[in-house]
Amino acid sequence: MGEVLDAAAVRRWCRLAADALGRTRAGIDALNVFPVPDGDTGTNLHLTLLAAAERLDGLPGDADVTTAWRTLAQGALMGARGNSGVILSQMLRGMADVLGAGGGLDAALRHAADLAYGAVAHPVEGTMLSVLREATEADLPAADPGATAWAAAERARAALRRTPDRLEVLARNGVVDAGAAGLCVVLETLAAVVSGEYPETYDVPRRSQDRPPEDVPRTGDGGSYEVMYLLDAGDGAVADLRVELDALGDSLVVVGGDGLWNVHVHTDDAGAAIEAGLRAGRPYRIRVTYLDAAEDRPVRRTGRGVIAVTAGEGLAALLEDHGARVVRRTSGHVPSLAELTEAITAAGDDVIVLPDDERVLAVAEAAARQAGEDGVRAAVVPAKASVQSLAALAVHDPLRRFEDDVIAMTRAAGATRSGRLESARHEAVTSAGMCRPGDVLGLVDGDVAVIGADASALAAGVLDRMLSAGSELVTLIVGEGAPDDLADRARDHLHAVRPDLEVAVYEGGQDRHLLLIGVE
């Protein structure tokens, strides 16, 4: 088994499973009615495996299989989200216990099912727990790891179809269990890596058409809050903690071992649940979510989103045409932290932010950190001009790994020189000399390069400073107060000095900058 699921294969499986859940999570979220109809099961499973994949990415290339499995389990444990993510992390721990020690895949899957069941205070039939058990309880073809993996995946699929027969709330809503649907994707990616037989798609069943969705009440008597935290504590203290938390609520899952645990419970008394953790050991990364607010939350997109900040209606339309959701600002002002955080949180689970000014950049970075507290993975591309945002959007690929997409967009923005023409509003000393109100300033990468009265002549001067032998594309974005012939004269100048260049001209509508210039 070591040759089939060696360290490289562990990395490959974890990344493939995370990517597959990323593609299917919206469908899985739509199935989510138990134990809480909060529509985030697919997202939680995806984020849990992403955390594990990122931990594996940090290993050296020569790490052995035992280290890889231990790292996978540890990453999932520390990054587990929601009830389903915590259960998945315990399943991965069970597999790591066996496969990291050189055992067989059949034994690993059975041990994973046992550990996952043991972690849940009151297991419910018709959920990912029972599907995992049904996939592994009969004899698996141990001699052939590929056959073992596919047999488990196929049995899980069959058990998934039976979940509405086991859990009445699923049948009432015409859905299969969301966590079990995600588990099937995870097992099928495992089978693909072990056997080398990769399916074209990973199926997520849809809601039955003859069973319209209903208003689903929260199941159980647990309470209004989901409480989660990591806990440093010994085994004995955790046994007492389970008893104490079981009396406080439901959906109790405690996973982990070797002194590190992940605790999940639904309760009306979040403070008491946290205090119980304090008595048991050292709780940290504490998250409290008000479950009854699920119906009142703004609609949140899943998948990858891009937020672009800009001033000017034409610019906003241009950025939207390139696939961004736009946060508009007025010239000279920046959007508030709350406004930008709300936009990021609503845009998706993975969000890339494109500021258009150095001051906006600082707010965007703070908003990204704040959105991260709500489970959004957000990254800020350090764009300081809308022309750089457009360059970044030109290489944006939502099917790429999130980190790779951010890197590609950052490189594109960084490779784009930005310039602009604007009217001086005050008398000031600049790097090009004294300016007075009404003067036209030509800036290159944020610094004043030329000052004068003829906007067309200044545009030509700025362009000459920005062009290099490797320049291929010039973007001109015309502002609201620009002379009618400014863009035409700038284009004519470019055709005269560099006929090889591609030139794109857009109406931006920005009121402060007569002309925005990008050179790639």
154 and 257: one domain?
no
Measured CA to CA, the distance from residue 151 to residue 136 in angstroms comes to 9
d(CA 494, CA 482): 18
Tell which of 362, 396, 414 closes a domain.
414
pLDDT above 80: residue 10? yes
- Give the domain-ending residue among 147, 174, 195: 195
Please check whether residue 220 lies inside any domain of the structure: no
Q: Indicate the SS3 state at residue 315.
A: helix
* Average pLDDT over every residue of 163-185: 88
CA dist 502 and 520 (Å) reads: 10
In a domain, 146, yes or no: yes
Does 332 reside within a domain? yes
CATH number at residue 475: 3.30.1180.10
Tell me if 205 is assigned to some domain.
no
Give the C-alpha separation, 127 to 34, whole Å. Answer: 9
Residue 38's pLDDT band, with cuts at 50, 70 and 90, is low
Q: What's the rounded mean pLDDT across residues 230-259?
A: 88
State the average pLDDT over residues 396-400.
84
User: Is position 488 within any domain?
Assistant: yes
- pLDDT exceeds 70 at position 14: yes
CATH number at residue 350: 3.40.50.510
- Phi, psi of 49, deg, nearest 5: -75, -30
Are 369 and 431 in the same domain?
no
Give residue 63's identity as a one-letter amino acid code.
A
pLDDT band at residue 302, thresholds of 50, 70 and 90?
low
Helix (H) or strand (E) holding 351: strand 350-354
- Separation of alpha carbons 159 and 184, rounded Å: 10
pLDDT(178) > 60: yes
Which CATH number belongs to the domain containing residue 279 in this structure?
3.30.70
Rounded Cα gap, residues 228 and 216, in angstroms: 23
Asked if residue 335 and residue 317 are part of one domain, the reply reads yes
- Span 171-187, mean pLDDT? 89
> Taking residues 90-116, what's their average pLDDT?
90
Instruction: Count how many domains the chain has.
Output: 4
Strand partners, 306: 352
Structure tokens given for 268: 């009306």
Contact 417, 445 (CB under 8 A): yes
Mean pLDDT of 219-238: 79
Residue 295's SS3 state is: helix
Q: Is the confidence at residue 1, as pLDDT, over 80?
A: no
> Helix (H, G, I), strand (E, B), or coil: what is residue 61?
coil
Q: Is 507 buried (19+), middle (13-18) or exposed (0-12) by CB count in 10 A?
A: middle
375: confidence class by pLDDT, cuts 50, 70, 90: confident
Nearest residue to 353 via CA among 336, 332, 378, 319:
378
Largest CA distance in the chain: 85
Q: Among residues 244, 274, 296, which one ends one of the domains?
A: 296
Average pLDDT, the chain: 84
Are 113 and 164 contained in the same domain? yes
Region of poorest pLDDT, from 122-136, 202-216, 326-340, 457-471: 202-216
Instruction: Please state the rounded mean pLDDT for residues 105-130.
Output: 88
Distance CA 273, CA 346 (A): 29
The predicted structure's pLDDT at residue 389: 92
Q: Which range among 23-27, 99-103, 466-470, 488-492 shows the weakest confidence by mean pLDDT?
A: 23-27
pLDDT at residue 411, as a whole number: 93
Domain with 236, as residue range(s), is 225-296
**75/122 same-domain check:** yes
**Whether the Cβ atoms of residue 406 and residue 379 lie closer than 8 Å to each other:** yes
We report the CATH number of the domain holding residue 78 as: 1.25.40.340
Q: What mean pLDDT comes out for the span 151-179?
A: 88
Q: Is the Cβ–Cβ distance between 29 and 178 less than 8 Å?
A: yes
Average pLDDT over residues 165-177: 86
pLDDT bracket for residue 313 (50, 70, 90): confident
Is there a single domain that holds both residue 267 and residue 167?
Answer: no
29 and 77 in a common domain: yes
Residue 9 token pair: 């294969």
* Domain annotation covers residue 211: no
Question: Residue 120 has what DSSP assignment?
Answer: B
Residue 215: per-residue pLDDT? 44
Strands 513-519 and 417-423: antiparallel
One domain for residues 265 and 340: no
pLDDT band per the 50, 70, 90 thresholds, residue 155: very high
Q: What mean pLDDT do residues 307-316 have?
A: 86
pLDDT at 212 over 50: no
Percent of the chain beyond pLDDT 70? 93
- 510 and 449, same structural domain? yes
Q: Do both 56 and 183 map to the same domain?
A: yes
Mean pLDDT of 270-284: 90
**CA 173 to CA 164: how far, in whole Å?**
9
Q: Are residues 348 and 377 in the same domain?
A: yes
What stretch of H or E contains 254?
strand 249-257
How long is the chain?
520
| pLDDT band for position 208 (cuts 50, 70, 90) | low
Could you tell me the two tokens for 286? 């504490």
163, 23: one domain: yes
Helix (H) or strand (E) holding 326: strand 325-328
**Residue 89 lies inside a defined structural domain of this protein:** yes
pLDDT for 214-225, tens place per residue?
444 444 455 678
Which range has highest mean pLDDT (48-62, 196-210, 405-419)? 405-419
Looking at the domain assignment, is residue 209 inside a domain?
no
The C-alpha atoms of residue 402 and residue 322 are separated, in whole angstroms, by: 18
CB 244 within 8 A of CB 238: no
- For 5-14, what is the mean pLDDT? 89
Torsion angle (degrees, nearest 10) of CA 418, 421, 422, 427 = 100
Looking at residue 209, what is its pLDDT?
A: 52
pLDDT of residue 256 exceeding 90: no
> What's the rounded Cα separation, in Å, for the pair 22 and 368?
20
